[in-house]
């Protein structure tokens, strides 16, 4: 009897192993974008619960939905993954669960871009009501004396690079889809202003944020700039420029200025690219310093931006070769594949902010010691987009 049981168990193990290997090799035949998207869907069949069981109207989950939605032409299930998330939050009367205009938080604007996308496919009035409420926030959002949007109401007088991706890309998409050209002007103004406020003239890199009041402990008291160029913050910024250019009219007066800023920023990033791995450090200008590490989200964002910039004529053709080499490096340095073919992306910074409670002082030690999260939305989303842009 025990021989029969042993045989059955052995047969089961061998069969499972064969099936796992078969699935692994079938996955290997797919594009990296599809492989990562399939990994995401397998780990959570609903984007609503991808991060945790308490769904949030959050920019990072929205970004992941946006990235996976780009595979919608390959299979409708990928678009449904994003659309179901939007429909969970946007109610029949146009209100959005977990969104409060009175918070005046630019991070809460970004998911509205997916609402615009869904509305263009299905013009249900509830989506337009939600979209108009995001515009109402932007019309009344607090600003610095120089006209820059505060990142959040709880961070008075502060502009963060992140905010351009969160707010200004929505403005540009809205302007294009709803024939509201004044929002092109606002998006461009915000993008150019923060460049001037955060630019380190010597390196060409951008510091994470700027405090107009010069009162925050994290800033230089003379300039108001934060002290370090954080990898993902510059990633948000150059992605934002390319998103804005996607919608901006060819003859818009600010178009050339945005392209020049993009080119200068990418040139600066090349100078701090790690010569050993071909990727970028968490604190961009401190490569090799103890505690610093190759960070996944920024590296994926730059790879995507470089390829997209070449394809759209914004960047020199050399950047396409660099993007392909950087993508190879991401696979080599940051991606592991399990026996079922599922991907894990490592060394993604979970999040970095400034100020708040407990207070984040923007020091080198702060940036390098924040938690790293495998398969964090902010890393896998740009990885998918980079893979798609490079057709890898």
DSSP 108: G
Give the C-alpha separation, 209 to 221, whole Å: 13
- Asked if 355 and 210 count as a contact pair (C-beta separation under 8 A), the reply is no
Block residue for tokens 């700039």 = 225
Coil, strand or helix at 134: helix
Of 158, 139, 276, nearest in space to 210 by CA = 158
How far is CA 325 from each of CA 29, 228, 245, rounded to the nearest angstrom?
20, 26, 25
Of 299, 214, 316, nearest in space to 264 by CA = 316
Structure tokens, 85: 């998330």
CB atoms within 10 A of CB 335: 17
Q: What is the SS3 assignment for 276-328? A: CCCCCECEHHHCCCCCCCECHHHHHHHHHHHHHHHHCCCCCCHHHHHHHHHHH
- Asked if 157 and 150 count as a contact pair (C-beta separation under 8 A), the reply is yes
Question: Does the pTM of the predicted model rise above 0.85?
Answer: yes
**Is residue 72 exposed (0-12), middle (13-18) or buried (19+ Cβ within 10 Å)?**
middle
Give the C-alpha separation, 89 to 149, whole Å: 25
**What confidence score (pLDDT) does residue 29 get?**
82
Determine the Cα angle at 240 with ends 234 and 242, to 5°: 110
Structure tokens, 73: 């032409």
- Asked if 223 and 232 count as a contact pair (C-beta separation under 8 A), the reply is no
Give the C-alpha separation, 205 to 228, whole Å: 9
Distance between alpha carbon 191 and the CA centroid of its chain, in Å? 17
**What confidence score (pLDDT) does residue 53 get?**
76
DSSP 226: B
Q: Which residues of 266-304 are buried (b: 16+ CB within 10 A; e: fewer)?
A: bebbeebbbeebbbbbbbbbbbeeeebebbbbbbbbbbb
Architecture (CATH level 2) of domain 31-390: Alpha/alpha barrel (1.50)
**What confidence score (pLDDT) does residue 25 get?**
43
- Asked if 268 and 335 count as a contact pair (C-beta separation under 8 A), the reply is no
**Is residue 74 exposed (0-12), middle (13-18) or buried (19+ Cβ within 10 Å)?**
middle
Helix axes 112-121, 76-89, angle to 10 degrees: 120
Give the C-alpha separation, 385 to 387, whole Å: 5
**What confidence score (pLDDT) does residue 12 get?**
62
Please state the length of the chain. Answer: 392
Give the C-alpha separation, 195 to 161, whole Å: 8
The residues pairing with 337 across neighbouring beta strands, listed in sequence order, are 343
Q: Where are the domains of the chain?
A: 31-390
Give the C-alpha separation, 258 to 281, whole Å: 25
Structure tokens, 25: 């090799």
What is the residue-level pLDDT of the chain in tens, covering all 392 positions? 555 555 555 556 555 555 444 544 466 689 999 999 999 999 999 999 998 778 999 999 999 999 999 999 999 999 999 999 999 999 999 999 999 999 999 999 999 999 999 999 999 999 999 999 999 999 999 999 999 999 999 999 999 999 999 999 999 999 999 999 999 999 999 999 999 999 999 999 999 999 999 999 999 999 999 999 999 999 999 999 999 999 999 999 999 999 999 999 999 999 999 999 999 999 999 999 999 999 999 999 999 999 999 999 999 999 999 999 999 999 999 999 999 999 999 999 999 999 999 999 999 999 999 999 999 999 999 999 999 999 99
């Amino acid at each position: 009897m025990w021989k029969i049981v042993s045989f059955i168990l052995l047969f089961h193990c061998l069969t499972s192993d064969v099936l796992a290997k078969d699935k692994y090799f079938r996955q290997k035949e797919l594009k990296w974008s599809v492989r990562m998207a399939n990994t995401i869907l397998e780990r959570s069949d609903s984007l609503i619960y991808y991060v945790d069981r308490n769904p949030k109207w959050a920019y990072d989950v929205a970004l992941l939905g946006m990235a996976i939605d780009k595979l919608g032409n390959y299979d409708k299930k990928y678009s449904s993954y994003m659309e179901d998330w939007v429909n969970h939050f946007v109610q029949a009367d146009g209100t959005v669960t977990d969104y409060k205009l009175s918070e005046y938080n630019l991070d809460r604007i970004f998911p509205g871009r997916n609402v615009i996308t869904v509305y263009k496919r299905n013009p249900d009035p509830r989506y337009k009501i939600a979209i108009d409420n995001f515009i109402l926030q932007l019309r009344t959002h607090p600003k610095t004396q120089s006209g820059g949007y505060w990142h959040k109401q709880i961070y008075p007088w502060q502009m963060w690079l992140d905010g351009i991706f969160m707010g200004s890309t929505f403005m540009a998409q809205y302007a294009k889809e709803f024939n509201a050209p004044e929002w092109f002007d606002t998006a461009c103004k915000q993008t150019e202003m923060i460049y001037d406020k955060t630019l380190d003239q010597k390196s060409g890199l951008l510091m994470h944020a700027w405090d107009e009041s010069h009162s925050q402990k994290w800033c230089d008291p003379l300039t108001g700039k934060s002290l370090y160029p954080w990898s993902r913050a510059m990633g948000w910024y150059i992605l934002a420029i390319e998103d804005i250019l996607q919608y901006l009219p060819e003859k818009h007066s600010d178009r050339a200025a945005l392209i020049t800023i993009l080119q200068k920023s990418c040139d600066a990033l090349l100078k701090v690219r790690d010569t050993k791995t071909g990727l970028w450090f968490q604190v961009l200008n401190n490569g090799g310093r103890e505690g610093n590490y190759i960070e996944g989200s920024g590296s994926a964002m730059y790879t995507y931006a470089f390829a997209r910039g070449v394809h759209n004529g914004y960047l020199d053709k050399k950047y396409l070769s660099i993007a392909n080499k950087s993508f190879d490096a991401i696979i080599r340095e940051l991606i592991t594949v399990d026996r079922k073919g599922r991907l894990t992306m490592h060394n993604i910074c979970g999040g970095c902010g400034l100020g708040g409670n407990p207070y984040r002082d923007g020091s080198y030690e702060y940036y390098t010691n924040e938690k790293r999260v495998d398969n964090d939305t902010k890393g896998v989303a740009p990885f998918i987009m980079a893979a798609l842009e490079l057709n890898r």
